[in-house]
């Protein structure tokens, strides 16, 4: 493997994302096509470095650092895809701070414990309990992607509501999707995340029972916050489909769900906890 590839650090892609965000903000203040291209260039460079890092470094997805860096990578892909397909929208202004926030949190929790299994390798060669542990982790991580996308949509929604409430002139300032489209994006993200979260939890519970862990192990912050996340989602879905709540209420509850997700990701792993973030 070339030496340069192994030299890629968190700083490389984080700095690229910071520059991309700076270009996006500059574009917002004084729109010119060049800033858009520069933002895409820096964002693309950051994503490349991030991808190399994820592939080359043995990320421990059970540890907060690995899980957060991996989640940030998926959202960086989401950012890059969105920036190309929705070039006229202020996409990066919403997604990049989230990506950077996750990377920052990962750095802050870099010394957290985790097991030393190679997550991807375990998932790709299904054998016994370790496979189920990896599957449990993958499901929860993908649910995390859905929740993060829901978070971005909710922030966009609240900004758009603020603009409408203040009756700001349309066509000026940042370009956003319509309320209807943002709400649809949030709805899809929640519908994507909930089954994955539920399946991940079921696999996790089954693993805990199979391992015969004691009652006190169920009190681990990671397990409690993940169950809390599931409950928030259940309320979210009830509000949406049970009492047909719309708009701001749903957006705010999605923000709460994201906060609980961060708590779950940042929580240390209990020694009895097998695989998964």
Partner 1 sequence: MMLLVVGCNFKNTPVEVRERLAFTGPRLAQALDELSARYGCEAVILSTCNRVEIYLARNEALVAPDAELIAEFLLEFHGIRQEEARPEWYHHSGLASVIHLFRVVASLDSLVIGEGQIAGQVKQAYETAQERAAVGPTLHALFQHARIVAKRARTETGISRGHVSVSSLAVDYVRQVFDHFGDKTVLVIGAGKMGELTLRHLKDLQPRQILVANRSPEKAAEVAGGCGGRAVAWDQLDDALAQADIVLSTTGAPEPIVTRRRWNDVLARRSGGTVVILDIAVPRDFDPRIHDGDRTCLFNIDDLKKIREQTLQERGKHVAAAEAIVAQEQRRFLAKWTQRQHVPIIAKLTRDFEARRQIIVQQLFRRLNGKLGDEDRSYIEGAFRLLQNQFLHGPISALAEEAPEENRHTLRDALRKLFRLEE
Q: Which is nearer to partner 1, 88 or 127 (CB)?
A: 88
The vertex-19 CA angle with 18 and 23, nearest 5°, equals 115
Compute how many other C-beta atoms are within 10 angstroms of the C-beta atom of residue 260.
Answer: 19
Instruction: Choose which of 128, 171, 212, 242 interacts with partner 1 (CB under 8 A).
Output: 171
180 counts as binding partner 1 under rule CB under 8 A: yes
Instruction: Choose which of 57, 87, 131, 163 interacts with partner 1 (CB under 8 A).
Output: 163
4 close to 57: Cβ distance less than 8 angstroms: no
Instruction: Choose which of 162, 235, 238, 241 interacts with partner 1 (CB under 8 A).
Output: 162
Cβ 150 to partner 1 shortest distance, Å: 17
Q: Which is nearer to partner 1, 19 or 187 (CB)?
A: 187
Helix axes 91-108 and 64-85, enclosed angle (nearest 10): 170
Q: Which is nearer to partner 1, 31 or 271 (CB)?
A: 31
Helix segments in 7-127, DSSP class H: 10-29, 33-56, 64-85, 91-108, 119-124
135 close to 123: Cβ distance less than 8 angstroms: yes
Site of tokens 């708590």:
263
Instruction: Choose which of 178, 209, 216, 242 interacts with partner 1 (CB under 8 A).
Output: 178
Cβ 27 to partner 1 shortest distance, Å: 12
Site of tokens 């390798």:
121
161 counts as binding partner 1 under rule CB under 8 A: yes
Binding residues for partner 1 restricted to 196-235, rule: CB under 8 A: none
32 counts as binding partner 1 under rule CB under 8 A: yes
243 counts as binding partner 1 under rule CB under 8 A: no
242 counts as binding partner 1 under rule CB under 8 A: no
Sequence-distant (≥ 6) Cβ neighbours of residue 274 within 8 angstroms: 115, 129, 130, 132, 133, 136, 207, 211
Instruction: Choose which of 116, 127, 172, 212 interacts with partner 1 (CB under 8 A).
Output: 172
Cβ 164 to partner 1 shortest distance, Å: 4
Sequence-distant (≥ 6) Cβ neighbours of residue 146 within 8 angstroms: 189, 190, 192, 193, 194, 196, 197
Binding site for partner 1 (CB under 8 A): 31-33, 160-167, 169-172, 176-181, 183-184, 244, 246-248
């Amino acid at each position: 493997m070339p030496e340069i590839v192994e030299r890629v650090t968190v700083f490389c892609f984080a700095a690229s994302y910071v520059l991309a965000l700076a270009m996006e903000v500059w574009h917002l203040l004084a729109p010119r096509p060049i800033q858009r291209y520069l933002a895409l260039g820096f964002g693309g460079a950051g994503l490349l470095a991030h991808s190399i890092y994820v592939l080359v470094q043995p990320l421990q997805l059970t540890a907060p650092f690995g899980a957060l860096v991996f989640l940030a990578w998926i959202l960086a892909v989401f950012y890059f895809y969105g920036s190309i397909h929705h070039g006229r929208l202020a996409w990066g202004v919403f997604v990049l701070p989230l990506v950077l926030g996750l990377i920052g949190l990962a750095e802050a929790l870099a010394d957290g414990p985790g097991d030393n299994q190679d997550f991807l390798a375990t998932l790709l060669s299904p054998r016994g309990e370790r496979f189920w542990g990896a599957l449990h982790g993958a499901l929860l991580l993908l649910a995390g992607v859905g929740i993060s996308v829901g978070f971005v949509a909710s922030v966009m929604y609240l900004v758009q509501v603020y603009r409408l409430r203040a009756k700001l002139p349309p066509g000026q300032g940042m370009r956003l999707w319509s309320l209807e489209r943002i709400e649809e994006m949030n709805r899809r993200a929640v519908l994507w995340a909930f089954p994955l979260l539920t399946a991940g939890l079921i696999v996790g519970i089954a693993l805990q029972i199979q391992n015969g862990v004691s009652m006190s192990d169920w009190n681990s912050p990671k397990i409690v916050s993940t169950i809390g996340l599931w409950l928030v989602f259940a309320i979210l879905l009830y509000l949406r489909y049970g009492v047909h709540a719309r708009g701001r209420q749903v957006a705010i509850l999605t923000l709460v769900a994201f906060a609980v997700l961060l708590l779950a990701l940042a929580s240390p792993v209990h020694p009895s906890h097998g695989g998964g973030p």
